[in-house]
A and B are shown apart, each in its own frame.
Chain A
Amino acid sequence: MSALGGLSGLVHPSLAAIGEVGEGFFKERTEGNLPCQARTSHLFCWDWATEHIDRYGTPTLQQAELVVISVIAGFVIAFALGLLAHRVRWLRPPLLAGTGILFAIPSIALFLLLLPITGRGRETAIIALTAYTLQIIYRNVVLGLDNVPGPVKDAARGMGLTSRQILWKVEVPMAVPEIIAGLRVATVSTVAIATLAVFAGGGGLGTQILGEANLTFPTAIVIAMVIVIAMGLFFDLILLTIQRLLTPWRRVRVV
């Protein structure tokens, strides 16, 4: 911890306290003698990047894991809330307000606020990230279920489908496009926000951004950013593919 103590002068005290700032970053930077690393105005240093790319492996996997777990947990909770609101209409305003308030809390604040309650670690990060997905997914579940045309439900009921059958065979399948649209927005934003998991000790690519707290050397930050964007696109593509597979009727040629 002596090296960390020495760094505390360079970085903000609160960041140093996070304790995940890799010591190696600074050592290597000062020990290495590659030309572009020496220049402070250099935005991206290929030599450094190729030499250190492997250090992004674990944080990337951590971040992906945070996203997948949070979005799945968020989907399960928000879907259940959406079905509840669909059945019990008076629950809609409180549920919308509740998820809205969660969504409105500044993300850094939420991570830091949870620390004294749930302690440092991945779980805390997941709780915060899950809370952020609720609003978007919940709203789209309700929207999707609401958008099912009245006559379709009327016909379903008139033909003898029970309420449960109408929900699972008609309303939910027809709401899939809206639900997945919500999941896509929630996922991409979670990929970005998960970078802040580092404040809760949740790991992820944030460690690499904070690790380069010396703002005069942005290469490490650029790499993390590119990975975050690529991850967002990757998850988005997966969800888009799922939607297309689940909703063949949306792609038909209308005559």
Chain B
Amino acid sequence: MPTGDAAPDSQSQPHAGASSVSYENVTKRYEGSAEPAVDKLTLEVAAGEICILVGPSGCGKTTAMRMVNRTVEMTSGEIRIGGHSVRDRDPAKLRREIGYVIQQVGLFPHRTIAQNIATVPTLLGWPRERIRARTAELLELIRLDPELADRFPAQLSGGQQQRVGVARALAVDPPVMLMDEPFGAIDPINRERLQNEFLRLQAEIRKTILFVTHDIDEAIKMGDRIAVMREQGRVEQFATPAELLMEPATEFVEDFVGADRALKRLALMRVRDISLWVAPLATAGEPTAAVRAKLDSPEVEVRYPLLVDAARRPLGWLSERDLRAETVPERADSPLGPVLELDDVMRDALADLLQAGVQYAAVVDGAGAVAGILSVEIISEFLASPGAKQDELEAVERPK
């Protein structure tokens, strides 16, 4: 921890914290076009949350976002940040208090990384020493090697450049950030990394973020709440990712979320969220007759008992041969296979089952004790639950 003892932010933070953003009947009409680009948009974004504006191209989501920092001027309506109308502010001054990240990053190629990050602090006339300290702090926040500070953007990879873009937007600790497809130009593997990094960052900084994307998977992953938009900025549904997947409000949302939304829901669930099968447990030395009785219980779905130690930690599956003895042996005949945890994401758990080529696996709690059994059958029953069935029914009806 070489930088750990640096004084944590002794300077005053003029815009610390986050502010709410509210749209009230906001309309944008471009000159020469009959239809408004955004029509009477009303949306309430709570302080400190990531609000995703998602929708097909041309739905007005970027226009809606850009009206917040007045890079696009609204025709009518009102946008308030923390209760204050953006109309009352000088646009340039307003923008310095709102972080701005775009897909193409837009770093200044003729300025070093440090100078790029210092753009807004320099505009605000911060003293040199404060700028230097803040730049170092931000480089650490985005985990960029401080040696890169004096390089030029062309010397950095695309992912590094985008992280610098985020740092530059965070320089004066703005209460609101606008992000326009920030990871759209990054390859899938690095995008995943940057998304995770950004979520970790957001957990720390807790900004109010308006995040535009056309990618529903990214929306589900990144959003606290998602506004699904269609043409003219009409919000079809404004809900949490889970609500959006479980109860799409309209057909448009349902189509946009995709036929595989049931599968997508698995990404939002953990193993503990589903009811598991009861595990018939056996310990070494226990009479096999008692174990057989457990297997016959109506609530047990599996044919073999799970051998556990005194702390109920799983050791292996007992076979038919193991049960022929008087008492349960020390070692199980069949290997344990994959062991899942209650906190595993359901999608990953399913992947583990499929990869191991097994029908079910033991699930353990935080202490490693058996909590139940998860099977492919449980998951497929869940996928066939009413919400998912609706899709199938429609798929059948559509050809008419």
- List residues of chain A with CB under 8 Å of any chain B CB: 149, 151-162, 165, 170, 173-174, 247-249, 252-255
Contacts and interface: CB of A to CB of B under 8 A. Distances in A.
A198 to B, nearest CB: 43
Interface in B183-216: none
Given A155-B100, A249-B154, A162 B109 contact: no
Given A151-B104, A152-B106, A174-B109, A159 B151 contact: no
B57 interface: no
A247 B95 contact: no
Contacts, number: 76
Given A253-B155, A255-B157, A160 B106 contact: no
A248 B169 CA distance: 25
13 contacts: A149-B106, A151-B104, A155-B106, A157-B95, A158-B69, A159-B95, A159-B100, A160-B95, A161-B119, A248-B152, A249-B109, A252-B155, A254-B154
Contacts of B114: none
B155 A156 contact: no
Contact of B106 (A151, A162, A247): A151
A81 B103 CA distance: 34
A159 to B, nearest CB: 6
B154 A158 contact: no
A249 B115 CA distance: 13
Contacts of B109: 152, 174, 249
A158 B178 contact: yes
A161 B111 CA distance: 15
Nearest to A176: B110
B168 interface: yes
Nearest to B91: A160
B168 A254 contact: no
B120 interface: yes
Contacts of A154: 71, 102, 106
A161 B90 CA distance: 12
A162 B92 contact: yes
B107 interface: yes
Q: How large is the interface on B (under 10, 10 to 19, 20 to 34, 35 or more residues)?
A: 20 to 34
Contact of A255 (B69, B103, B106, B155): B155
Contacts of B169: 159
A interface majority secondary structure: helix
Interface string B142-169: 0000000001101111000000010011
CB-based closest 9 A-B pairs: A155-B106, A160-B96, A158-B100, A151-B104, A160-B95, A151-B106, A249-B152, A160-B92, A249-B110
B105 interface: yes
Contacts of A157: 71, 95
A248 B120 CA distance: 22
B161 to A, nearest CB: 11
Interface string B296-318: 00000000000000000000000
B123 to A, nearest CB: 6
B108 A156 contact: yes
A161 B71 contact: no
B65 to A, nearest CB: 10
Contacts of B92: 160-162
Contacts of A248: 152
Contacts of A247: 110
B93 interface: yes
A149 B94 CA distance: 24
Nearest to A148: B109
A149 B104 contact: yes
A159 B178 CA distance: 11
B158 to A, nearest CB: 11
Given A158-B69, A160-B123, A170 B108 contact: yes
A156 B69 CA distance: 13
Contacts of A252: 151-152, 154-155
A249 B152 CA distance: 6
Contacts of B69: 158
B210 to A, nearest CB: 13
Contact of A160 (B93, B102, B151, B152): B93
A8 to B, nearest CB: 60
Among A149, A170, A247, the one with the most B-chain Cβ atoms within 10 Å of its Cβ is A170
Contact of B107 (A155, A158, A162, A173): A155
Given A155-B100, A249-B154, A255-B155, A161 B123 contact: yes
Given A152-B108, A253-B155, A254-B154, 18 more contacts: A149-B104, A151-B102, A151-B105, A154-B106, A155-B106, A158-B71, A158-B100, A158-B102, A159-B96, A159-B119, A159-B120, A159-B169, A160-B92, A160-B94, A161-B119, A170-B110, A173-B110, A252-B155
Given A161-B92, A162-B92, A253-B155, A156 B110 contact: no
A248 B150 CA distance: 12
A157 B94 CA distance: 11
Nearest to B96: A160
Contacts of B96: 159-160
Nearest to A177: B110
Given A252-B154, A255-B157, A160 B120 contact: yes
Interface string B71-113: 1000000000000000000001111110010111111111100
B46 to A, nearest CB: 23
A169 to B, nearest CB: 8
A167 to B, nearest CB: 14
A252 to B, nearest CB: 5
A214 B145 CA distance: 72
A210 to B, nearest CB: 47
Nearest to B153: A249
Nearest to A163: B92
A248 B112 CA distance: 10
B251 to A, nearest CB: 35
A174 B103 CA distance: 21
